[in-house]
């Protein structure tokens, strides 16, 4: 699916951005719904303003849900920050992967880097280790307003919606990542990397602090990269 819809290298920056926006529409809708669930779940723990501010300045489902879970369980601020950063440590790897595909001044490269989200980074991968930065920005474009607006709706509508678990809202976020996984996993090596990553996370979860099992899953990518394509 990725191959047929991705733009060619020779397309203009605007054409590649627009192709990304079109590709990003379903992700934007899903992210909006997930942000509503975040707003509903966060308001009793953090108040009304803080979840909205956090969605504006952090813009990361993994870090926001991860830190919320720890704060809601009565965990310390330090533990919430550590878990959020570990969950987002994958952005370090994603930024390193994107870097060789970026041209221009540091400020321009920084702007592209800030547009990294899981869905757009994976969609912008050309499959040979290089990325299409304008396509990535396009896929991200609807997710930012979707994430912020959804949080506002969730915070405002939270008390009217009732128990978020009764509505199944906690299934939205992991289901979204299953959708990202389906977009991404093509070919034997990626299947092995995904299966290995899932296995590592399952084995480590009972023993390691939140976030570490996800970071450790990178070992599966290293192992799978040594297989023949």
Q: Identify the residue among 4, 160, 178, 228 touching other proteins (CB under 8 A).
A: 178
CB of 193 to other proteins, least distance (A): 4
Q: Which of 26, 58, 20, 17 is nearest to 151 (CA)?
A: 58
In the block, which residue shows the tokens 């969950």?
87
Q: How far apart are the first and last CA of the chain?
A: 19
Q: How far is the CB of 30 from other proteins (least distance, A)?
A: 4
Of 135-164, which residues contact other proteins (CB under 8 A)? none
List the one residue from 15, 153, 161, 185 that touches other proteins (CB under 8 A): 185
218: nearest Cα among 204, 206, 114, 228 = 204
Residue from 19, 33, 136, 137 in contact with other proteins (CB under 8 A) = 33
Do residues 177 and 198 lie in contact, with contact meaning Cβ atoms separated by under 8 Å? Answer: no
**Whole-number minimum distance, CB 78 to other proteins, in Å?**
9
Which member of 27, 38, 135, 147 binds other proteins (CB under 8 A)? 27
Contact stretch for other proteins (CB under 8 A) within 7-15, 136-144, 153-161, 184-192: 184-192
Kindly determine how many residues on this chain lie close enough to bind other proteins according to the rule CB under 8 A: 105
Spatial separation of the C-alpha atoms in residues 225 and 189, rounded to whole Å: 7
Shorter beta-carbon distance to other proteins: residue 8 or 74: 74
Stretch 188-207 residues interacting with other proteins (CB under 8 A): 189-191, 193-198, 200-202, 205-207
| C-alpha to C-alpha distance for 142 and 140, rounded to whole angstroms | 6
Map the footprint of other proteins across residues 5-24, applying CB under 8 A. none
Q: Binding string to other proteins for residues 84 to 123, with x set by CB under 8 A, is what?
A: xx-xxxxxxxxxxxxxx-xx--x--xx-xxx-x-x--xx-
The distance of closest approach from Cβ of residue 138 to other proteins in the complex, given in angstroms and rounded to an integer, is 16
Subset of residues 43 to 82 that bind other proteins, contact rule: CB under 8 A? 46-47, 50, 53-54, 57-60, 62-65, 67, 71, 73, 77, 80-81
**Tokens at 102, concatenated:** 């970026």
Closest to 146 measured CA to CA, from 59, 48, 20, 50: 59
Q: Is the Cβ of residue 157 or residue 195 nearer to other proteins in the bound state?
A: 195
């Amino acid at each position: 699916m990725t191959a047929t819809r991705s733009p060619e290298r020779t397309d203009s920056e605007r054409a590649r951005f627009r192709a990304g926006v079109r590709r990003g529409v379903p992700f934007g809708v899903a992210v909006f719904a997930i942000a509503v669930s975040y707003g509903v779940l966060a308001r009793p723990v953090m108040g009304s303003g803080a979840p909205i501010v956090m969605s504006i300045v952090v813009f990361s489902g993994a870090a926001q849900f991860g830190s919320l879970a720890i704060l809601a369980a009565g965990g310390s601020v330090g533990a919430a920050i550590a878990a959020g950063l570990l969950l987002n440590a994958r952005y370090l790897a994603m930024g390193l992967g994107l870097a060789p595909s970026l041209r221009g001044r540091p400020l321009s490269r920084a702007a592209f880097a800030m547009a990294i989200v899981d869905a757009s980074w994976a969609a912008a991968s050309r499959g040979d280790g290089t990325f299409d930065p304008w396509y990535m920005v396009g896929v991200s474009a609807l997710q930012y307003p979707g994430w912020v607006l959804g949080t506002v709706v969730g915070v405002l509508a939270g008390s009217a919606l009732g128990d978020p678990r009764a509505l199944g809202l906690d299934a939205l976020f992991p289901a979204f990542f299953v959708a990202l996984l389906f977009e991404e996993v093509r070919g034997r090596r990626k299947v092995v990397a995904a299966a290995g990553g899932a296995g590592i996370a399952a084995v480590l979860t009972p023993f390691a602090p939140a976030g570490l099992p996800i970071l450790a899953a990178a070992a599966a990518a290293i192992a799978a990269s040594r297989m023949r394509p």
